[in-house]
Amino acid sequence: MSVWLVSVPNEGSNSSETTFLSLKTETASTRHDYAECIRVELPSDLLVGTLDSLMTLSDDLNRVDMIIENVVRKIERQFNDLNKNDQNLTVDGVPVERYLSFFSWDEAKHLHRRPLPEIVSMIQSSVGKIEDELKQLGTRYAEKKQQLIGLQRKKGGNLMVANLSDVLTPDVVSKSDFVNTEYLQTLVVVVPKVLEEQWLLEYAQIGDQIAEYGPKGSRVNVRGSPVVPGSSRKLMEEGDSALYTVTLLKGQYQSGFLDKEGNYEPGTIVDYIEDFKMRAKEKRFVVREFNFDPTSHASNEETIAELEVEVDRLWSALIRWCKAHFGETFIAWMHIKVRFGSRFLLALSQ
């Protein structure tokens, strides 16, 4: 449905009623009227101001009109995105079409004897606050919903993305399955089922150039893998993948040495874990971050439950907010259009 707001001057000594009847006659048809004409009742003593003042304000009014329409559309889109029950937005408790059919000036909110610039400024300020509030509420709802979706995706995802705390629960693993000391650390690796045999044959040689034993540059320097032989154990399998553990030497102190010019290079701590992760990934073995905590599974379930309640609460609050503020913003929009359109045309005809 398309709605036009039309201002028609009273020609000569015609009354407003005569002018309205003439408009209805012009839009009538023997079969179907071209339009349904509805008369908008306005206070007879609305402040007009001078033509110069209206011309000066016209650019601002056009800008404010677009700003308010934009806010109306934003609220409408937000409501439609949230609406699960095919509810409809209303204005003053009635459908938009009915409100337009029975529009009357809201004297309680917009005193008609105030100057036009003052009314425009008040409406713009009010709608600006509504837009800011919509942004804050919408952002908070979207953030919480994304957090929930992320946790749910991990909970129901494959071993590559699942939260391992929900997979490696105390009934599957125990603290004794993992080593984490000053020198050793147990990692959890996702191994595709089609590569399990390759993993078992090669895991102890992955990164065979990572670990370096002996002074750097020395003839007695030896390289090898930081993996502890025989340390891999299968924990479980799901879908196309399996989870294995493997224990590594975390790193070591690389002793200092004299370079070719006789300068002493100080010793450093060399980390083997990150290098091993990269070498394993090259062979399609993915190391997942995991620290065994027997209480983390229950904690994750509790977090998801709390987020579900929070998201539902924010959804309900945002739905109610949209219903309330759509009507308020739409009413402000109509008052801008009616006040500006009718008064500007009246000033031109005087």
**Between 69 and 37, the higher pLDDT residue:** 69
- Does residue 163 surpass a pLDDT of 70? yes
Above pLDDT 70, what percent of the chain? 87
More confident residue, 4 or 160: 160
Cβ–Cβ < 8 Å for 212, 268 = no
pLDDT for residue 51: 60
Contacts of 110 (CB under 8 A, 6+ apart): 119, 122, 123, 335, 339
**Mean per-residue pLDDT, 184-210:** 94
**Mean predicted confidence (pLDDT) in 237-266:** 85
Which residue is associated with the tokens 């994304």? 146
CA distance 239 to 234: 15
Residues 6+ apart with CB under 8 A from 184: 228, 247, 248, 249, 250
pLDDT at position 346 over 50: no
Q: What is the pLDDT of residue 13?
A: 73
Predicted local confidence at residue 247, as pLDDT: 96
> Averaged over 212-225, what is the pLDDT?
68
Among candidate residues 71, 85, 17, the one with its CA nearest the CA of residue 326 = 71
pLDDT for 48 equals 57
**What DSSP character marks residue 27?**
T
pLDDT in tens, 132-148: 999 999 999 999 999 99
Q: Over 50: is that where the pLDDT of 195 sits?
A: yes
Which helix (DSSP H) or strand (DSSP E) does residue 247 occupy? strand 241-249
Question: Mind listing the pLDDT tens digit for each residue in 48-60?
Answer: 555 666 666 676 7
| Segment 86-111, tens digit of pLDDT | 788 999 889 988 888 888 877 777 66
Mean pLDDT of 108-129: 79
pTM above 0.75, yes or no: no
CA 347/CA 70 separation, integer angstroms: 28
Average confidence (pLDDT) over 242-259: 86
Task: Report the mean per-residue pLDDT for the chain.
Answer: 83
pLDDT at 206: 94
Residue 304 · residue 151 · CB < 8 Å: yes
Check pLDDT > 80 for residue 30.
no
Q: What is the DSSP letter of 193?
A: G
Question: Does the pLDDT of residue 342 top 50, yes or no?
Answer: no
Task: Let me know the angle formed at the C-alpha of 64 by 61 and 67, rounded to the nearest 5 degrees.
Answer: 155
CA distance readout (Å), 215 to 199, 225, 261: 31, 17, 16
300-334 pLDDT tens trace = 788 888 999 999 999 999 999 999 999 999 998 88
Lowest mean pLDDT among 12-26, 179-193, 235-249: 12-26
Element (H, E) at 312: helix 296-349
Check: CATH 3.20.20.370 for 171-292? no
CA gyration radius for the chain? 37
Distance between CA atoms of residues 252 and 216, nearest Å: 13
Mean pLDDT of 206-219: 73
pLDDT grade for 65, boundaries at 50, 70 and 90:
confident
**258-292 pLDDT, tens digit each:** 777 888 878 777 889 999 999 999 999 999 999 88
Report d(CA 342, CA 39) in Å as an integer.
12
Can you tell me the distance from the alpha carbon of 225 to that of 282, in angstroms, rounded to the nearest whole number?
A: 15
Per-residue pLDDT band for 349 (boundaries 50, 70, 90) equals very low
Dist. CA 185–CA 179, nearest whole Å: 5
Least confident stretch, 131-140, 207-216, 226-235: 207-216
Domain boundaries, the chain: 40-147+311-349, 171-292
CATH superfamily of 40-147+311-349: subunit c (vma5p) of the yeast v-atpase, domain 2 (1.20.1460.10)
pLDDT score, position 6: 78
Q: DSSP labels for 105-152?
A: --TTTS-TTS-HHHHHHHHHHHHHHHHHHHHHHHHHHHHHHHHHHHHH
